[in-house]
Amino acid sequence: MSGLDAIINRKAPSPWELFKSNPSLYLASKLYSHLSRQLPRRSFSPVRTICISDTHNTDVSALIPPGDILIHAGDLTHSGTPRELQVTFDWLVSLPHEHKIVIAGNHDTYLQTNEGRSWVHTWRERGIIYLEDEAHTIQVRGRAFKIFGSPFTPQHGNGAFQYPRMGGTDTPSRWAIIPDGTDILITHGPPHGHLDLTGLGCRALLARMWELCRTHPPVLHVFGHIHGGRGIENIPWNSAQSIWEDIVRKKGGWLYTMRLLWAMLWSGRDNSIRTVAVNASVVGGPRDRDVRPPVVVDI
């Protein structure tokens, strides 16, 4: 296993291991989990979104339930060969969902070549919308969703679709490409501090999310890449949220934990501006032997 795979495929530690290694960070994560647990209520007919990522050649079609939109957030394959991609796209085509939105990941090397890009766009004729730093709008029962998808992650190793880090942080301007007004955001990797094993995600992506939330935060953000971070989180763009991100950045601290508790009492109930974040990694566990079902979100 490469150094990159060892990091992104890392098994989620047990609660006791987390507590022993950093008690303040562990308790803060429990507070934040409580803050982000409840999903916002929708007053309109929900659109069922089926989220998967990091299937790595695993055919999970038997696990996928019906829905309106199917999203695959990258790492369709393990080695990124045309043959692997062909098999994966064939089973995606076999699924009945009206809208199928797909991005690549760092393992999908063939899709970073000109030949691969040309080939993958021919799949639109078979119902698969592939996005590489692109926006696409769909209509579902009279509702329009502006979707933006990108396969890129911060540089680590020699994988595909990576951008350089500068001074230990992620390139500041990289995510300015996400259009204002995006309803569904799909990136291969997570934003920093969110379903990323507390710190492996991209800080520049998180900064762009804060910019978007000032006017029109995405309703849904789907990603994968960090297999051990799988889960669902309701991100409240408020002061408690900002303090949680400081805790992750500073790796804990009792003062910050107390500040988080105080902020939750005053602003944690604010449901007005939220984004549902989903780490939809399918494979996981020791040596990625576990196969987890899709994450289903009604938006």
The arithmetic mean of pLDDT across residues 246-258, rounded, is 71
Extract the tokens encoding 51.
Answer: 């989220």
Alpha carbon distance 18, 24 (integer Å): 10
What integer pLDDT is reported at residue 248 of this predicted model? Answer: 73
Report the candidate in 210, 207, 195, 224 with the shortest Cα–Cα distance to residue 294. 224
Domains of the chain by residue range: 3-298
What does the pLDDT look like over 145-179, one tens digit per residue? 999 999 999 988 789 999 987 545 555 589 999 99
Alpha carbon distance 123, 178 (integer Å): 24
Phi then psi for residue 224, to 5 deg, are: -155, -120
124: amino acid identity, one letter: R
pLDDT tier for residue 246 given thresholds of 50, 70 and 90: confident
Minimum mean pLDDT range among 102-116, 173-187, 193-207, 255-269:
255-269
Alpha carbon distance 69, 101 (integer Å): 8
* Residues composing the chain: 299
CA distances from 82 to 2, 16, 117, 255 (A): 22, 43, 11, 52
Alpha carbon distance 10, 17 (integer Å): 14
Half-sphere exposure of 9 (CA within 13 A, CB side): 21
The arithmetic mean of pLDDT across residues 29-42, rounded, is 62
110: amino acid identity, one letter: Y
* CATH T-level fold of 3-298: Purple Acid Phosphatase; chain A, domain 2 (3.60.21)
Extract the tokens encoding 21.
Answer: 């290694």
What's this model's pTM, rounded to 2 decimal places?
A: 0.84
Beta bridge partners of 170: 165
What integer pLDDT is reported at residue 34 of this predicted model? Answer: 64
Report the candidate in 295, 276, 280 with the shortest Cα–Cα distance to residue 56. 280
For the four alpha carbons of 100, 104, 110 and 114, in that order, the dihedral sign comes to positive
Beta bridge partners of 291: 283
User: Is a pLDDT exceeding 60 seen at residue 132?
Assistant: yes
For the chain, the farthest-separated pair of C-alpha atoms sits apart, in whole angstroms, at 56
DSSP H helix total and E strand total for the chain: 8, 17
What integer pLDDT is reported at residue 29 of this predicted model? Answer: 72
